[in-house]
A and B are shown apart, each in its own frame.
Chain A
Amino acid sequence: MVTTDEKGPLTAKKKSVIIRSCDGDEFLVSESAAVLSTSLKKILEEKEDRLIHLSDIDNKTLAMVIAYLSTHADDGLSDDLKRSFDQEFVSGKEFDVLKYLVLATDTLQVTCLCYTVAKKMADIMKNKLVEWVRREFDIQNDYTPEAEAEIRRLDAWAWDDRQLEDD
C-alpha cells in the first residue's frame, strides 16, 4: 500500500495523491483509495496537480478517513474482512470523534462510511437523557420552561416509555 501518514513534505508519485488537512499536515494516498470519495474523485478529474487541500478537516479525522479509504481500496481484503473493519472502525469511538467523522465523510462524500458513522451515533443516542443529547450536540435549549412543559405534554406519546434515558 502506498498510504502513509508520515508528516513532512511529500512528492506524489504517479497514481497517488497528496491530501493536506486544515492543520497543514500532508498525507500520501493511493489514487485508488482517494477516488472512493466522490468529492476527491471529482477534484482529481478536474485538476492536474496531485495536491488537494481540505480546509475543513483536521489531522486526526483525516487520518481516520484515509485509513478507511485505504482498507476499502485494498483488493486483497475480502468483503467480510472489510465489513468487520467497518464495525471495528466505529466501535469505542467517542461521540465527539464521530461528530467530526460524520461531517468529514459528508463533505468528502464517502457514502458507506457516512452511513456507518451516522448509524453508530443513532445507536449511542438511543438511550440517552435529553441533557446528554443537548450537551453532545451543543444544543442551546431555547424553550421557556412553560414551552418545554407544553411540548412534553403534547408529545407525551413519544415519552411514554422513558426514551432517551441516561446511561
Chain B
Amino acid sequence: MEKRSSMDRLSALPDDIICHILSFLPTKISAATSILSRRWGFLWICVKKLDLWLEHATLPRCLFTCKTLVDLTLYDGCVGMPSSGPVFLPSLKKLHVCRVKYQDVEAFPQLLSGCPVLEELIIRYNYLDCFNISSPTIKRLTVQCERNNFDSSVKINAPELRHLQLRDIAFAGSIVKFDNLTKLELGVEFCFLMKLLEIADNLEVLILIVKPHNWMEPKQVPTCLLLHLRTIKIDQFWFEGHEFNMVRYLLKNAQVLERMGIHLMYSDLKAKSYAVKRISSFKRRSEACELAFH
C-alpha cells in the first residue's frame, strides 16, 4: 500500500478518539486493551461510563483511582471492593452497586469517602447486614434489599439528601437531620416511616410503595406534616384496619396537604366504594386537599 503523507501522525490516534472507540466496547474488552502498551494501560479508564459484571473477580486497583470516571455501575461481585489501598474518584457523580460483596465492612465506607463529588448512590441487594452511608454530597439515595428481609439495616449520614428511597430494609437512624429532603419513597415498616418523618422537616412528597405491617400513632405530629408535606401517594392499599388508621392520621394532621392518591388493591366494587366512602369522611386538616382513588 502506498504510504500516506500523514501516516506518521496517525501512528497515534489522539486519546479522546481512542476513548470514543473504546466506549463502544463492553468494559471487559475495553479494559483488556491495557495489555497493549503503557499508554493504553490508562486509556480505557478515560471512558466516562463503566459497567462491570464481576463474577468471581477482583477489580483492577487502578479503577479506584480513576480521575475521569463519572458514572460507575458494579454488578454481581463476589469479592468486590478492596478494603485497603487508596480510593480516590474525584469525578464520580453516580455510583450503582448491585449484588456486590465486600471484603469487609470497612470497604464500602472507604469507597464512599473517596468520592468527594458523588451525587447519586444506588445500592441494591447487598450482602452486608448493616450499612453505614456517610457522604456530605449525595443528593439521591436508593437502598433496596431482598423482599421481607428486615435483618438488614441502614444508617444514613447525608445532610444534602434531597430524595431518599428505602425498600425492605430497616432504618437505623441518622446523626444529622435531613433538612434538604423533599421526596421520600418508602417500602418499610411504619416505625421507620415515623423515624424518618421526624427528621425530615421540609419533606414535600411522601410515597408509600409496599404494604405496611402495623401502624402506631406518634406522640407528636412531625414538623413536615404541619409545614411542607403537599403530596402523599399510597401505592398499595389493602383495606386493612391499620391502613385506614394511618390514612386518617395523615389527613387529620397534614396541614398543607394538596393531594392524597390511593391505589386500591381489590377490584371488588362494594369493597372499593366502602373504602372510598370511609376515607372521604375522614376529617381533613387541609381543606384544599384532594383525594384520588385508582
Contact = CB atoms under 8 A, between A and B. Distances in A.
B partners with A: yes
- In this complex, the member of B12, B14, B37 whose beta carbon has the largest number of chain A beta carbons within 10 angstroms is B37
A148 B34 CA distance: 10
Interface string B1-38: 10011100111111011101111110011011111111
A157 B61 CA distance: 12
B6 A139 contact: no
Interface stretch (A3-11, A40-48, A64-72, A97-105): A97-105
Contacts, number: 104
B17 A139 contact: no
B241 interface: no
Interface in A21-59: 22-23, 56, 58
Contact of A121 (B6, B12, B21): B21
B207 interface: no
B236 to A, nearest CB: 41
A151 B24 contact: no
A118 interface: yes
Interface stretch (B52-60, B90-98, B146-154): B52-60
Question: In which size bucket is the chain B interface?
Answer: 35 or more
Contacts of B12: 138
A137 B14 CA distance: 11
A130 B61 CA distance: 22
A130 B33 CA distance: 8
A18 interface: no
A133 B36 CA distance: 8
Contacts of B4: 58, 100
Given A22-B5, A99-B13, A103-B17, A141 B36 contact: yes
Query: Which secondary structure characterizes the binding site on chain A?
Result: helix
B40 A139 contact: yes
Given A103-B10, A138-B11, A122 B58 contact: no
Nearest to A96: B1
B41 interface: yes
Contacts of A151: 34-35, 41
A123 B24 contact: yes
A125 B23 CA distance: 12
A130 B29 CA distance: 11
- In this complex, the member of B5, B11, B36, B40 whose beta carbon has the largest number of chain A beta carbons within 10 angstroms is B36
A125 B21 contact: yes
A154 B60 contact: yes
Contacts of A22: 5-6
Contacts of B22: 122
A120 to B, nearest CB: 9
A91 B1 CA distance: 20
Contacts of A142: 37-39
B29 to A, nearest CB: 5
B54 A118 contact: no
Contacts of B20: 102, 106, 114, 118
B106 to A, nearest CB: 22
B117 to A, nearest CB: 27
Contact of B36 (A56, A139, A159): A139
A130 B35 contact: yes
Given A123-B24, A157-B58, A141 B32 contact: no
5 contacts: A102-B20, A121-B21, A122-B23, A125-B21, A155-B32
Given A99-B13, A125-B29, A133-B33, 8 more contacts: A23-B5, A125-B25, A126-B25, A141-B36, A142-B38, A143-B38, A155-B35, A163-B28
Interface of A: 22-23, 56, 58, 96, 99-100, 102-103, 106, 114, 118-119, 121-123, 125-126, 130, 133-134, 137-143, 148, 151-152, 154-155, 157-160, 163-164
Interface of B: 1, 4-6, 9-14, 16-18, 20-25, 28-29, 31-41, 54-55, 57-61
Q: Which 7 A-B pairs rank lowest in CB-CB distance, beginning with the nearest?
A: A122-B24, A157-B57, A138-B11, A158-B32, A158-B31, A118-B21, A118-B20
